[in-house]
A and B are shown apart, each in its own frame.
Chain A
Amino acid sequence: MPTPPLEARQTYIAHVDVNSFYVSCERAFDPTLEGRPVIVLSNNDGCAVARSAEAKALGIEMGAPWFKLAVDADRINLVAKSSNYELYGEMSGRVMKLLGRFSAWVEVYSIDEAFLGVTGTVDELQALGEQIKAEVFRLTGLPVCVGIAKTKTLAKMANKTAKHIKELGGVCVWDRAPRTTTENLLARLPTVEIWGIGPRLTKRLRGLGIWTAKDLRDADEVRIRDKFSIVQMRTVLELRGIPCIPMEEERVIKDQLIFSRSFSDPITDRVGMEQVMGIYAQQASARLHKHQKQAKILSAWAMTSYYNQHQDHQPAITVKLPGPSADPVVLTKAAKQLLPQILVGVKYARAGVVVMDLQPTAMQETFEPFVAAHEAKQIGPLIAQIRSEHGVKAIGLGAAGLAQGPAWQMRREMMSPRYTTHWKELLRVNAA
């Protein structure tokens, strides 16, 4: 094959994501799930967070509560699985590692999607997209779709197109499609489907007479910037094929971290709540250390169930920390200031800890008087190290350090084995 002229080979962005990722992970190890409606449930088996195409076709909505679906599950042949985060995380790692073989320029965007910098003619890119799709399936058993375009925003859109139009076979190179086709797609795509345009922005855009992706692309970008912000102006330009959103190596940690869960059994006393606060504060500490950040503010809250009309109670506190800190002892102390507000006997169904106003860990030493006596001893990193060597339950501070699993830990009754991370839970193959 003759080498194409240089000007025809251009830099593009490929967006790769796994179809119904959680469900696909389950199916990769359990062929009986193929062709059946399957959903994966949120923490504590609360509601559907992932649905197979068959489940979507049955009209099961994202977020549908399991207690409602369970009644009919057998009749409609629906399978529900508890979230198996160990499995999904490990499989995600495999996919991302594999994608790194196709491009040195990979941005892991979420657990199941990534952007890749790629170069070639549109035909070469089509072949590359097909190769990526085939290799990810062959090596990991997970089905992906690939969208390739000049910008991230269009690559995402191309991917969506690849998912919805069966004839494309899961790969869509935006610039390879006939112009009339892409124009048609843009004219039919509501703005809410565009990457970065949420429902609220959609409403405001409608006020300006902008309903579709085509409307937005053809809008005056300066007017959009003035009405909204530079972020939306970038989207307009990206829709025109002008790259404005750069590839990021690792996504920047946001300005706050939230640790929150529903309890499988409600907490009704301060001892239980103290344990919860201790665990969340230490998780927050571990994550801050990992990202080399310190927080200035911590807030903690608890709440009764939405369905519990008799005992509506939602205590909350916000604490300004004595200085920027990621120290587990400092954070635990702060979180425990919620305890006096906890009413004994009230059934709390959920609680959380949020650390805010994050800043990079100071290179300079904090002024002595503000360093707590234990803080200089690097307790946080030490705990993290012990946990990484001996398991997360090996050590902890205070009530959170109890070896025995507390009663409120996550409910995962329908969880598949953790096939790839636990020797005792390996996939069973029949020799019979």
Chain B
Amino acid sequence: MKIDRIQVCALASPPQRVIAVALDRVPAGYPSPAQDYSDTKIDLSEMLIRDQVSTFIVRVSGESMQGAGISDGDELIVDRSVKPRDGHVVIAVIDGEMTVKRLSTGPDGVVLKAENPDYPDLRVAELSDFRVWGVATTCLHHL
């Protein structure tokens, strides 16, 4: 087993970042006026990923969450560090299956709601095995 090999690769490849460098030739005395305004490029993960350690990206199969703006084939950004609360869209493990649902913790107990009238809600009491795998924070919806 080549253990140290993989370890080295994994740690040696932190996410690539774009760094602004002065590439223009600078004739002495006449710096390019544009250089003062150079900036790093917009980095999407900066906005979408709060914590690299706990964030995973998953892909949705099915239409049951359409009312929440989540369609078949969309990617969800899931942050495991977020504590699940009433109203969160969560990835739940139900009987060994990963399912996306809206979490509802009302007076009648925990309910996993679909956002599509064609699909039924699931009452947690009826489920043999249930836990929240992570909380979805963003949907990447493809137009």
Contacts and interface: CB of A to CB of B under 8 A. Distances in A.
The answer to whether A and B belong to the same complex is: yes
Interface of A: 31-32, 34, 42, 49, 85, 88-90, 92-94, 96-98, 108, 110-111, 138-141, 251, 290, 419-420, 426-432
Interface in B43-93: 51-54, 56-65, 70, 72, 75-76, 80-81, 91, 93
- Complex A-B, nearest 6 residue pairs according to Cβ-Cβ distance, in ascending order: A89-B10, A431-B62, A432-B62, A139-B54, A426-B59, A431-B64
Contact of A93 (B10, B70, B93): B10
Given A97-B52, A431-B100, 15 more contacts: A31-B98, A32-B96, A32-B97, A85-B6, A94-B54, A111-B3, A139-B51, A140-B54, A427-B57, A427-B58, A427-B98, A428-B60, A428-B98, A429-B60, A432-B64
A116 to B, nearest CB: 16
Given A138-B81, A140-B54, A140-B80, A90 B10 contact: yes
Given A111-B3, A290-B12, A427 B93 contact: no
Contact of A429 (B53, B54, B91, B114): B91
Nearest to A22: B1
A42 B119 CA distance: 43
B26 interface: no
Given A111-B10, A290-B12, A431 B65 contact: yes
B47 to A, nearest CB: 18
A140 B70 CA distance: 24
A426 B56 CA distance: 9
19 contacts: A31-B96, A32-B97, A88-B10, A89-B7, A92-B7, A92-B11, A111-B6, A138-B81, A140-B54, A290-B8, A419-B56, A426-B58, A428-B60, A429-B100, A430-B62, A431-B60, A431-B72, A432-B99, A432-B119
Contacts of A251: 4
Contacts of A96: 11
A182 B142 CA distance: 59
Interface residues of B, number: 40
Contacts of A110: 3-4, 7
A138 B80 contact: yes
B96 A429 contact: no
B9 interface: yes
Contacts of A98: 53
Contacts of A140: 53-54, 80
Contact of B1 (A49, A89, A138, A427): A49
B98 A429 contact: yes
A89 B80 contact: no
Nearest to B93: A31
Contact of B75 (A49, A85, A108, A426): A426
A99 B100 CA distance: 30
B53 A430 contact: no
B11 A431 contact: no
B61 A430 contact: yes
B65 A92 contact: no
Contacts of B10: 88-90, 92-93, 111
Nearest to B129: A31
Contacts of A94: 52-54
A340 B125 CA distance: 71
A141 B97 contact: no
